[in-house]
Amino acid sequence: MAIPKARHTTPLPRSGESIPRRVPWGVGTQDLPGTSVDSLGLEEFLTRTSTRAFVVLHRGKLVHEWYADGIDPDTKLASWSVAKSLVALLAGQAVAEGRLRLDTLLVDVIPELRVRSPLDGDAAYNRVTVRDLLDMTSGIESPESYTLVDDPTVVLDNPSLLVTSLTGTYPLFATPDVQSFARTHRTMLFEPGTDGEYISLNSQLLGMVLEATYGEDLATLFRTRLWEQAGAQYAATWNLDRDGGTAKGFCCLNATGRDFARLGQLVLDAGTPRSPVTRAWKERLLRPRAIRLYGGEWPYSTNFWHIPADLPRGTARLDDASAIGIFGQYIYVNDRTDTVMAKLSDYGIEQDEALTFEAIRHIARSFPTAPQTVSLKLKAPQRGRRGQQTTLRVLALGEGRTRPRGLVRLSIDGQALRVRLVDGRAPDPLDAAPAGRAHVPRPLPAGLRFQARLDNGTPRRPAVALSSDRTRHHQPGRHTSRP
């Protein structure tokens, strides 16, 4: 299905910044077994991992782009499972609009998939939720195999290859009727929500749930709800199972490197007028579930991956995440440095993903920390006696209830006060985090006007500016504040 370019393109102005010339590279690649390399030059990293397009954005500006021979900025490239993450962003909109809940049952939205007898499948299938489809915890049995047996003699030595070839992901990709495929795969590996297993059918079912919820095909939903908002510069396509059929929600958006990067920017811009993604949804994808995939190695949440070395504690929030496709496709987002990278490759199946993730992260961390969106709360007693001091309480919380550092500057009727926030340490009575107190040497009159600003040391404008008379509140730009 053809997806035209957006009516209004989001510009990508050049930033003038640069990225590191070398990236870390630990254990040797599969094509060089047994080698150990500490780092690779950037060009070598891109060519060794068969990169076709590589685009780096910092704060929405184009820092770096690189293309292999024969590839241009307007060349459409396959995304494979990166599309799963985009389907999850659409699901986030349905949840935010109240059309779906995370605990909505799959079979309540698509009743024809309900298991009514043992001939249909396992009864536990009826308990699969939207949450399970998002987090790969459904337990539906559909092997994630990419093996195609084209030599029958191979099966004699390994009969299991025939099973995976006939039931794995390749048949889901090749079938001209994905809905029939879904009906024939209703047996279960485990009770929904109790374990994790990466199954492409989960994302296909999620796409079908969205189509049933909105009454529109998935590619159209994507075009109107993400593609247009991203301001895509070029046309794209999304593969269907057949002409006029069902979109493959588990893969197969084909677009340019720049436009994939623009889609990643929607995640970082969550909660602002520039993005249809809600702040709550971004927080969810940055907080991987306790269940980890691939033998307990990969943290995963909301169809986004986190690097295996990351060990989130409970509901800990991580700084970055990536959509990942099987042959080396990435839309990487780093919320701390406001960085997006799109890397589209033709590499081996699931090859060196953790090493590539680390290399990309190294580039993202070379940029300065972006200003956080911070909620600043100031509280003062309504009345005070003549001659008394007033204690003004200051509370600052960043995204995900993080504790920002910086200097809160207060101006009360022209008197300047300061409260320094230093990650929980309070060197003196006026310093604290996330809360601080500023002592005003007189009572505060009713209807007082005050101004407060949090400066966290970045060259951009302050993360918060708040002006209040207890009834009026100013919220500048993309940043949020509350009294």
Longest CA–CA separation in the chain, Å: 96
User: pLDDT tens digits, residue range 43-100?
Assistant: 999 999 999 999 999 999 999 999 999 999 999 999 999 999 999 999 999 999 999 9
C-alpha to C-alpha distance for 72 and 52, rounded to whole angstroms: 9
* 343 pLDDT higher than 50: yes
- Identify which has the larger pLDDT, 268 or 419: 268
Angle value at C-alpha 142, between 311 and 95, nearest 5 degrees: 60
Residue ranges of domains in the chain, CATH in brackets: 1-369 (3.40.710.10), 375-468 (2.60.40.10)
Tell how far CA 452 is from the center of its chain: 32
User: pLDDT tens digits, residue range 161-175?
Assistant: 555 555 567 789 889
Residue 214 has what pLDDT?
98
C-alpha to C-alpha distance for 193 and 458, rounded to whole angstroms: 42
User: pLDDT tens digits, residue range 85-143?
Assistant: 999 999 999 999 999 999 999 999 999 999 999 999 999 999 999 999 999 999 999 98
Sheet containing 406-412: order of strands: 415-421, 406-412, 450-455, 464-468
> In 3-state terms, what secondary structure has residue 252?
coil
C-alpha to C-alpha distance for 440 and 317, rounded to whole angstroms: 36
Residue 393 has a CB neighbour count (10 Å cut-off) of: 15
Helix axes 257-268, 82-96, angle to 10 degrees: 40
Mean pLDDT for 340-365 is 95
If you ran DSSP here, which 8-state letter would residue 227 be given?
I
Q: CB neighbours of 14 closer than 8 A, spacing ≥ 6?
A: 61, 62
User: pLDDT tens digits, residue range 399-421?
Assistant: 544 555 555 565 655 556 565 54
The single-letter code of the amino acid at 83 is A
Return the percentage of the chain with pLDDT > 90, whole number.
61
Mean pLDDT for 450-457 is 51
User: pLDDT tens digits, residue range 375-386?
Assistant: 555 555 555 455
Mean pLDDT for 171-182 is 93
Residue 295 has what pLDDT?
80
